[in-house]
Amino acid sequence: MKRFTDLYWRLDATSSTNEKVDSLREYFAAARPEDAACAIRVLSGGRQLRAVSTTLLRQWAAEAAGIPLWLVEECYAHVGDLAETLALVLPHPGPDAATTGVGMGLAECMRTTIEDLRGASDQQKRLVVERVWQLLAPRERIVWHKLLTGGCRVGVSQTLVARALAEVAGVDPAVMAHRLMGTGVTDAESYAQAMSSEPTADDARRPYPFFLASAIECEPSDLGPTSDWIAEWKWDGMRAQLVRRGADATLWSRGEELVNGAFPEVIAAAAAIPDGTVLDGELLAVRGNKLLGFAAVSKRSGRRSVPRKLLEEVPCIFVAYDLLEDDGADIRGLPLVERRLRLESLVPLPCTAGAEPAASEAVGVPFETAASPQPRLLHSPCVVGNAWDALAAARATSRGRGVEGIMLKRRSSVYGVGRVRGDWWKWKIEPLEIDVVLLYAQAGHGRRAGLHSDYTLGVWHDGRLVPVAKAYSGLADAEIVELDRIVRATTLDKHGPVRVVQPTQVFQLAFEGISHSTRHKSGVAVRFPRIVRWRRDKTPSEAGTLADLVQLIDAGTIDASPQPEMTP
């Protein structure tokens, strides 16, 4: 545990990529295999489960320190990091703390003091937590608190982890990045396999690292002639890779989760593609010819199996927009234009979901009927436009189609790893907007500790304000400081860290989509809300209404089917 703690603080203390790689390399070269496997899961951003609630930790820490709970909360508001706050308020550890951290490895610590607690009673959890507090030094407590609450995040990417591991193992970084995908490294045995200089048995199942696009920051015309670019629709689904090697097909989400059970119709369709094929694309929910959006796909994505009713309510397809492996050969280094030609040969039918019926019939793609089900494996068609004005006009139809805009991909581009700027751009449609009123505010964390920077915003309905979104971004630092003073001066009530304020401040809220929601009190849920402007020129009475939001759904440009809440 001490070795991992040292690594954590070394990574936290530098922004230098080379220094981070050096620290990672030194750690993995000396760590025991089981500790190294555990560290990879944490450092690579793997899913972390919370073993003890932060509410209980606050309460136990207050009692252990002999201070009231409200003082712990005030300290947290100023420090901005709960793990650090708890470590600071707790009494100094016992005399064994200096040596305990040396002997307890990360894997042992995770297993005995975190993983074993998940099914334990609160009393059992408290006994373990208080014992660990006596055994770990303060700097180790901070890291352990983050692991215990499932919030251990370090400023390194999986690419850097793969680079360091590749140097230790003596393999190509691309090979190591490939091995960390999918089920990845979970224990000492899988760590040994990942560090092998020879091909491993699991290599055939794994996807490739995903290539990510960046939001366009200039006028599209500044990118040069349209002849240098391939334009596609930006689908509103779930990014995935379909791997067909040998007798089996595997479907991997961008989050590196195997999702075969959630999309059985796609796995069945994969039997039509040849062995040695890897497709990059999007899982879409399509009913008839209508795209249902990401929220519908998410109803299925986390399931190991899907009941028949949900299969009928949310039918899904896979739309491929890139070919990464052809006939067993890695072709990511070929130009995109060549990869697409091969893709369209393997998957000849284009996806026309969201287009007008006449457009779909013109290219011969059948609508889904009981007698003729929709094909489950399609390719993403190019958006035709020989000038930027023509592509802009096509982009303007995006919301009506149920897509998020247009993707621009350089024809000569190779398939990279991670977010490589310059070759793939997201040209998204302009967001929807409405004026909202500030109802509640909560202090932020980290750099914004002590400042109220998390806002709950509402609109009018039947003469009162109802909350419709939470926003955490959009204001400049100076505006946050100014608004914090207003929040403190206009507070009506407090509910823990949340302040109820007088409804005096109006903001312009932007969001990507909206849907009916049974989970939200207002009955609607907005997707990716953020503040774009402080409307000092408006009074609360001039803010939007719930009817305005419902009208966006009823207008038919947004999916009206009930969806789960999509606020971040």
Cα gap 541→437, rounded to integer Å: 9
Does 236 lie in the same domain as 370?
yes
Instruction: Read off the tokens for 482.
Output: 């100014």
Residue numbers of the domain that contains 550: 432-554
For residue 315, what pLDDT is reported?
A: 93
Domains contained in the chain, number: 3
Does 375 lie in the same domain as 468?
no
Instruction: Read off the tokens for 461.
Output: 């309905």
Q: Are strands 524-527 and 513-516 parallel, antiparallel or unpaired?
A: antiparallel
Does 252 lie in the same domain as 342?
yes
Does 445 lie in the same domain as 321?
no
Instruction: Read off the tokens for 454.
Output: 């998390």
In a domain, 397, yes or no: no
Cα gap 130→125, rounded to integer Å: 9
Q: SS3 of 58, please?
A: helix
Task: Tell me how far CA of residue 387 lies from CA of 25, 230, 355, 391, 490, in angstroms.
Answer: 49, 12, 21, 7, 53
For residue 487, what pLDDT is reported?
A: 94
Q: How many CB atoms lie within 10 A of CB 379?
A: 24
In a domain, 90, yes or no: yes
pLDDT beneath 50: ranges in the chain: 99-102, 357-372, 556-568
Q: Which of 148, 169, 188 is the last residue of a domain?
A: 148
Cβ(547)–Cβ(506) below 8 Å:
no
Does 446 lie in the same domain as 374?
no
Residue 545 DSSP class: B
For residue 560, what pLDDT is reported?
A: 41
Does 333 lie in the same domain as 264?
yes
Residue 402 DSSP class: T
Which CATH number covers residue 20?
1.10.3260.10
For residue 567, what pLDDT is reported?
A: 34
Residue 31 DSSP class: S
Instruction: Read off the tokens for 412.
Output: 């000569």
Cα gap 555→269, rounded to integer Å: 35
Cα gap 251→448, rounded to integer Å: 40
For residue 359, what pLDDT is reported?
A: 47
Does 140 lie in the same domain as 46?
yes
Cβ(93)–Cβ(134) below 8 Å:
yes
Q: Which of 119, 148, 177 is the last residue of a domain?
A: 148
Does 262 lie in the same domain as 130?
no
Does 245 lie in the same domain as 362?
yes
Give pLDDT tens digits for 418-449.
888 889 999 988 888 999 999 999 887 766 76
Residue 467 DSSP class: E
- Sign for the CA dihedral angle at 151, 157, 159, 161 comes to negative
Does 244 lie in the same domain as 319?
yes
Task: Tell me how far CA of residue 551 lies from CA of 105, 544, 555, 556, 557, in angstroms.
Answer: 57, 12, 6, 9, 10
In a domain, 193, yes or no: no
Q: Which of 127, 148, 169 is the last residue of a domain?
A: 148
In a domain, 216, yes or no: no
| CA nearest neighbour of 274 among 331, 325, 320 | 325
Q: Phi first, then psi: what are they for 241, rounded to 5°?
A: -120, 135
Q: Alpha helix (H) ranges present in 425-489?
A: 477-489
Does 455 lie in the same domain as 367?
no
User: Angle between the 122-135 and 54-65 helix axes, to the nearest 10 degrees?
Assistant: 60
Cα gap 47→151, rounded to integer Å: 10
* pTM of the model as a whole: 0.62
Q: Please list, in sequence order, all residues whose beta carbon lies within 8 angstroms of the beta carbon of residue 219, skipping any fewer than 6 positions away.
A: none
In a domain, 182, yes or no: no
In a domain, 249, yes or no: yes
Q: What angle do CA 46, 52, 58 make, to 5 degrees?
A: 120
Give pLDDT tens digits for 200-216.
666 667 788 899 999 89
Q: Please list, in sequence order, all residues whose beta carbon lies within 8 angstroms of the beta carbon of residue 406, skipping any fewer than 6 positions away.
A: 231, 232, 233, 234, 383, 391, 394, 395, 398, 427
Give pLDDT tens digits for 222-247.
999 999 999 999 999 999 999 998 87
For residue 277, what pLDDT is reported?
A: 95
Does 369 lie in the same domain as 276?
yes
Which CATH number covers residue 503?
2.40.50.140
In a domain, 408, yes or no: no
In a domain, 220, yes or no: no
